[in-house]
């Protein structure tokens, strides 16, 4: 997936905004990051569950995200590590996990 397609997909998710932090492109819900992209390398960080972490981190091109909560965020070398369908699923999962930590009233805005 190219970066523009990836950006368009992330922004299509309800409530998603984008911004720059630490010289990286961020996709956020309620100002909470769920995807952080290095525009130079196209590497990116996404949130995952502790159960998903081990399986994902064992794959080529995936490791613990530096400077993020241990076994809760992965760093993916580039947008080609996963196929489009799997990449979209992982982005949606990251958004869900971040949203689940927000107040119930905020969650209700996005969960119907």
List, as one string, the DSSP characters of 26-66.
EEEETTEEEEEE-TTT--EEEE--HHHHHHHHTSTTEEEPT
CA distance readout (Å), 3 to 38, 58, 84, 89, 103: 10, 24, 12, 16, 31
CATH number at residue 14: 3.90.1150.30
The answer to whether position 109 is within a domain reads: no
pLDDT at residue 112, rounded to an integer:
60
Q: Which of 17, 20, 49 lies closest to 36 in space, CA to CA?
A: 20
Q: Tell me: the pLDDT tens digits for 43-62?
A: 899 999 988 998 998 899 89
The answer to whether position 111 is within a domain reads: no
State the residue range of the domain holding 80: 3-101
Residue written as token pair 């930590």:
101
The answer to whether position 29 is within a domain reads: yes
Under the banding of pLDDT at 50, 70 and 90, the label for residue 104 is very high
Summarize the confidence of residues 25-44 as an average pLDDT.
Answer: 92
Q: Specify the 3-state DSSP secondary structure of 75.
A: strand
Q: How far apart are CA 58 and CA 111, in angstroms?
A: 32
Structural domains in the chain (count): 1
The answer to whether position 107 is within a domain reads: no
């Amino acid at each position: 997936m190219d970066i523009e397609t990836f950006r368009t997909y992330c922004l299509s998710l309800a409530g998603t905004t984008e911004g720059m932090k630490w010289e990286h492109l961020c996709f956020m819900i309620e100002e909470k990051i769920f995807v952080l992209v290095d525009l130079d390398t196209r590497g990116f960080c996404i949130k995952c569950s502790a159960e998903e972490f081990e399986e994902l981190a064992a794959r080529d091109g995936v490791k613990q995200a530096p400077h993020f909560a241990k076994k809760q965020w992965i760093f993916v070398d580039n947008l080609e590590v996963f196929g489009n369908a799997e990449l979209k699923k992982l982005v949606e999962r990251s958004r869900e996990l971040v949203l689940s930590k927000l107040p119930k009233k905020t969650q209700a805005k996005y969960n119907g």
